Chains A and B, each alone.
Chain A
Amino acid sequence: MNTTIMLFLLQDGITNGAIYALLGLALVLVFAVTRVILIPQGEFVTYGALTYASLASGQMPGTAKLALAMGITACAFDLFVARKTLHGRLILRSVLANVVLPAIVLALTISLAAQKPPVAVCIALSLVIVAMIGLYLYRIAFQPLAHTSVLVLLIASVGVHLALQGLGLLFFGAEGQRGPAVLSGAFTAGALRFTGQSLTVYGITIAFIVGLWLFFGLTLYGKALRATAVNRLGARLAGIRTTLSGQIAFLLASIIGALSGIMIVPITTLYYDSGFLIGLKGFVAAIIGGLVSYPLTAVAALFVGIVEAFSSFYASNYKEVIVFMLLIPVLLLRSLAAPAVEEEKD
């Protein structure tokens, strides 16, 4: 193999790895805070990507309607749970956040979609739409189960994944889509050619990781999220609502997913079901990080990306197999290193 090919593969691997890193971080975050293994993370990716691509090509994405429908359901849940202690402020807050907000976004989407809005507007709208879906998803599917076992949450997670994937087929059809590059143009450095899009991927990944680090290290809400992850009961005794932490975690995960999708869709054609596989690779990274370590997950994600790039060059038929095989030695090592874990108590 010559050096040029190797450099190309490395570059390709790092670009994909950066995306997996973001997804892996989101998975670790959601699991640490809510104990949910977020299988629908991949759907956030496809929803973000295809909403963006639809908007950019002047089509109306069905996800905006889904957000409103889910918002109304979430609002109904809120009001039903609080039916004995209803008061004006609570109703107003729930209606504003769950019904009025998605209704406004839907109206905006309908009016803008026909005029092929500029890239920045498409990105902003797609992010808002998917973020709302993530938030309402937590309210509808996971908040009512917050105190059940990891297994029940996992089953719910699989269910949500299948439902969202089906809806994806309904909204976007079976055809794949591509979106416009966020940053066009390219330059060459030596044998390597850097496209604007791959630089965007690096830039956004780094910015997001720094942003998350600042959020968790410096802000009260970030610390509250960490506290919930470290000690759920302790956090509740300090007055931190598990619900609030769950909402923030899902909001972040859906934004990260959608952003990843928007970054990949100019590079690769995405289908309604492509997200699952992409999410799974983030999951491989998260598992290597033990579902707890953020830095290890980020490094593992880059490794996954590079392994994928090389295996697609040497044995493209076995590309996925090789990537997922990474899990076996990791799990083996972890099972040997970790003491026998008791079934969790809560």
Chain B
Amino acid sequence: MSALLSVTDAHVGYGKVEAVRSVSLEVGTNEIVTIVGANGAGKTTLLSAIMGILPLKGRVAFAGQDLARLDIEDRVAMGLGLVPEHRELFVTMNVEDNLELGAFRIEKSRAKASIERIYTLFPRLKERRKQLAGTLSGGEQQMLAMGRALMGEPKLLMLDEPSLGLAPIIVADIFRIVTELKASGVSVLLVEQNAQAALKIADHAYVMELGEFVLSGKASDIAANERVAASYLGFQHEGASVL
């Protein structure tokens, strides 16, 4: 089976500093893949480069097509979506306008139906649909950012730290929705510091350290890995060595 997204030998740098080195990864159809790692490991940089925000050396293919010559908007049109760490909402516009713009490239009739679907997924957004995006709480903003990305009907949604700074109850909600997305046929590439929660819902996982993947495998195997448990899951198996 050919992967939906495949990244081969990717290098991403800021000037002379290489923030991501020789990284390869695959996301299959209908799969949740997670990249876990500490702050500053290069996870956000990698997602930005896959989306076309940062230049990338190496090969990125999506749905069998090389993305090298395509800019952000083309990638969106192909079905690649990104919910960035800072959400990048249209803060002076209301919730409904934000969602409507998410479907900028989608047919109007289909966009109408999508908006209802988003409201079923996030009832909170429906309650606040005339409220300005900038006045929403952090959790609601995260929901809106996800909703806006979903309005573009992505085949693969990349989520950058969706749980960052949110209350535990909202985090649980967001992770539940990620699994629902998978059930509805959207693949997810999830970048998280909250490794425990991410590994629980993912099919496949990569562990990133200092710009490189140091481990990869089935999420359940990674979660059981002693080194990962020690470094990222906050507990130590008996006899495990920290690095």
Q: Is A224 a contact partner of B92 (Cβ separation < 8 A)? A: no
Contact-residue size bin, chain A (C-beta under 8 Å from the other chain): 10 to 19
CB distance from A32 to the nearest CB of B (A): 11
Q: Is A227 a contact partner of B51 (Cβ separation < 8 A)? A: no
Say which residue of A85, A226, A230, A239 sits within 8 Å of B104 (CB atoms). A239
Counting chain A CB atoms within 10 Å of each CB, the highest count among B89, B90, B97 belongs to: B90
B224 in contact (CB, < 8 A): no
Q: Which residue of A lies closest to B151 (CB)?
A: A238
Q: Is B101 a contact partner of A240 (Cβ separation < 8 A)? A: yes
Q: Is A223 a contact partner of B84 (Cβ separation < 8 A)? A: no
Given the interface pairs A85-B69, A224-B104, the reply to whether A237 lies near B97 with Cβ below 8 Å is no
Encode B73-112 as 1/0 by CB contact (under 8 A) with A.
Answer: 1001100011010011111110001001110110010000
A241 in contact (CB, < 8 A): yes
B43 in contact (CB, < 8 A): no
Interface residues of A in 63-114 (CB under 8 A from B): 84-85
CB distance from B129 to the nearest CB of A (A): 15
Given the interface pairs A238-B102, A238-B152, the reply to whether A230 lies near B90 with Cβ below 8 Å is yes
Q: Which residue of A lies closest to B91 (CB)?
A: A230
How many angstroms from the CA of A239 to the CA of B108 in the assembled complex? 15
Encode A222-249 as 1/0 by CB contact (under 8 A) with B.
Answer: 0110110011011111111100000000
| A227 partner residues in chain B, CB cutoff 8 A | 90, 93, 97, 101
Q: Which residue of B lies closest to A217 (CB)?
A: B97
Given the interface pairs A223-B93, A227-B101, A230-B92, the reply to whether A238 lies near B69 with Cβ below 8 Å is no
B198 in contact (CB, < 8 A): no
Q: Is A237 a contact partner of B101 (Cβ separation < 8 A)? A: no
Give the tally of cross-chain contacts (CB within 8 A): 65
CB distance from B135 to the nearest CB of A (A): 14
Say which residue of A220, A230, A231, A234 sits within 8 Å of B100 (CB atoms). A220
Q: Is A231 a contact partner of B105 (Cβ separation < 8 A)? A: no
Does more than half of chain A's interface fall in helix, strand or loop, or is it mixed? helix
Q: Is A233 a contact partner of B88 (Cβ separation < 8 A)? A: yes
Q: Is B91 a contact partner of A240 (Cβ separation < 8 A)? A: no
Given the interface pairs A223-B97, A224-B101, the reply to whether A241 lies near B89 with Cβ below 8 Å is no
Q: Is B101 a contact partner of A223 (Cβ separation < 8 A)? A: yes
Say which residue of B69, B77, B93, B97 sits within 8 Å of A239 (CB atoms). B77
How many angstroms from the CA of A123 to the CA of B84 in the assembled complex? 47
| A239 partner residues in chain B, CB cutoff 8 A | 73, 76-77, 104-105, 152
Q: Is A237 a contact partner of B76 (Cβ separation < 8 A)? A: yes
| A238 partner residues in chain B, CB cutoff 8 A | 76, 101-102, 104, 148, 151-152
Given the interface pairs A238-B148, A239-B73, the reply to whether A226 lies near B100 with Cβ below 8 Å is no
Q: Is A237 a contact partner of B88 (Cβ separation < 8 A)? A: yes
Q: Is A235 a contact partner of B101 (Cβ separation < 8 A)? A: yes
How many angstroms from the CA of A85 to the CA of B66 in the assembled complex? 13
How many angstroms from the CA of A233 to the CA of B72 in the assembled complex? 9
CB distance from A79 to the nearest CB of B (A): 15
Q: Which residue of A lies closest to B99 (CB)?
A: A238
